[in-house]
Amino acid sequence: MPKQSKVSTVSVIGLGYIGLPTAAMFASRKVKVIGIDINQHAVDTINQGKIHIVEPELDMVVHAAVAEGFLRASTKAEPADAFLIAVPTPFKDDHEPDLSYVRSAAESIAPVLKKGDIVILESTSPVGTTEQMLQWLAATRPDLCFPTEGAATTDIDVNIAYCPERVLPGHVIRELVENDRIIGGLSEACSKKAADIYRVFVTGELLFTNARTAEMAKLTENSFRDVNIAFANELSLISDKLDINVWELIKLANHHPRVNILQPGCGVGGHCIAVDPWFIVDKTPDEARMIRTAREVNDHKPEWVLGKINAAIAALTAAGREEASITVALMGLAFKPNIDDLRESPAVQIAKQFATATQSKLILVEPNIEIPPAHLADQKLASVEDAIAVADVVVLLVKHREFATIKEKLSSNTILIDAIGIDVA
């Protein structure tokens, strides 16, 4: 069970989909929290007791925490007892990990560190990133003693640990509390101190290991899922070529007591599964053959969907329609159902490529956002009803609840491309 912590002030650096809920959970346990973010809009919104992202229940927790004075946001680092870094870790064009956000976060808090503090990295990171973060901190604060091999516990001024998040968007508040947590300190003392921090609100088991294993565990979890999704996506390509209904195929195969095939989609997105496996490939390119292949299969799926859209347009033009007169509605832009998160979304990739390569009219439908993403700024969002009223081709890319009954609303002349199995539970 959570308990009262000895820590009086926690600072969370990065107030996004993980950082803000984490900050809110500490604040809900009456711990003073200073949230740090470079996004002034996010800071201002939070200080008004509101949220800038979509996550069930989070708005109520943040509003109460701000109103009671336990949560405050700022753009500049301030002293605290514990610092949790939850910033993005994307990759560059060649799939090389980009750790610039982690470095910036570490260097921003370094001036306010003091003896007795702990710095915890939560961002999903390549193996060795926690040790690299320590080097950045030590270079900025040579007056402080950080954990090093052979250093006595009594000589350490600032403890360092890696503790990855493992939550499901749409269920973050519950899973932050209930899920087991991996605690990977750079020393045993670092792990124990990090555990004291998380016991403020975590009811799940705290699992102790070293930082490198904790980093690899997070990458392993997401790579496991990526490989299994790739199997489902590859099945969808094979089934399409053999004129087999992949949804029926998977349903039948899953009746085997030891088979549990996942559902295919238009690709894989999000800040974790679409990115993390490449961190393993980057470190061990010769060994990570299956992980690389899975990434390539899933990265190819949007191209396959685009091919289906182009084939539908070709069929209409062959029947006498001008391409410029054809309207295509893309249903869904988020990377998964019923959220507003567009990070690494294959649906966005499909929309972007289609918009630049066709004369057909494009309609975007995404119920969870109010304006299109920057690279689709010249496109307009439409409601489900308005889109299907005029669309010649409807493409289901995300299984949002608003799309559940869309098939029965389509006219008999509308071409439907269902990349997600909208009827599959």
What Å distances lie between residue 152 and 134, 156, 197, CA to CA? 17, 7, 22
Strands 206-210 and 181-185: parallel
Among candidate residues 134, 295, 155, the one with its CA nearest the CA of residue 222: 295
Sequence-separated (6 or more) residues with CB below 8 Å from residue 408: none
Cα within 13 Å of Cα(142), Cβ side: 1
**Residues 26, 124 contacting (CB under 8 angstroms):** no
User: Is 218 tagged catalytic?
Assistant: yes
Given 32, 193, 218, 301, the catalytic residue: 218
User: Is 241 tagged catalytic?
Assistant: no
For residue 213 the two structure tokens come to 């294993």
What is the CB neighbour count within 10 angstroms for residue 116? 12
Among candidate residues 312, 296, 269, 260, the one with its CA nearest the CA of residue 418: 312
φ, ψ of residue 115 in degrees (nearest 5) = -60, 135
Given 272, 301, 336, 399, the catalytic residue: 272
Angle formed by the axes of helices 211-241 and 276-283, nearest 10°: 110
**Residues 91, 274 contacting (CB under 8 angstroms):** no
Sort 204 into a burial class: Cβ within 10 Å, 0-12 / 13-18 / 19+.
middle
Which letter, b or e, does each residue of 85-103 get, where b requires 16 or more Cβ atoms within 10 Å of its Cβ? bbbbbebeeebebebebbb
Question: Distance between the two ends of the chain, CA-based, in angstroms?
Answer: 35
Tokens 């901190």 sit at which residue?
Answer: 137
Cα 141 to Cα 163: distance, rounded to the nearest angstrom: 23
For residue 150 the two structure tokens come to 């052979």
Indicate which residues carry an active-site annotation. Answer: 218, 272
